Structure 1
Amino acid sequence: MAEPRERKCPICGKPASDEFAPFCSKRCADVDLNRWLTGTYVIPARDDEPEADDEEA
């Protein structure tokens, strides 16, 4: 059976902490949150998808 891989912090690459998983520290967790809140990270969407209101009409 394979050994579990050590998880690394997605921000800085240090070993992840159980307390701040998947990050290594509160600082890295806050950096990630800031990136979401400022729009650095985005989830792409298509403009041609119908909205829920359009389907009912």
Structure 2
Amino acid sequence: MTLTVECPTCKAPVSWDTNFPDRPFCSPRCRLIDLGAWAAEEHVINGTDDQEDELFSEDFPKQ
């Protein structure tokens, strides 16, 4: 039995198998549309500035 999911961009059905190498997207076009949305910051992962500072605090010189 093959899993079927919706393309995140156009909502077309996508079989989760080797017939759809761009899965979860239905096509290279939908994959690039999604990539462009991330690049344009239309999609974001929520967080705070404090979390980023903590993550990279070891990179800062000691004062």
TM-score (norm 2): 0.64
Aligned equivalent of 2:30, options 28, 31, 41: 28
What residue in structure 2 maps to residue 7 of structure 1? 5
Structure 1 unmatched runs, 5+:
none
Between structures 1 and 2, the one with greater strand share: 2
Deviation at 1:44, TM superposition (A): 1.5
* RMSD after superposition: 2.1
Structure 2 unmatched runs, 5+:
none
Aligned length: 54
Query: How many percent identity over aligned positions?
Result: 34
Between structures 1 and 2, the one with greater helix share: 2
1:14-55 CA distance string (max 9 Å, x none): 11262210000111001000001111111122123333447x
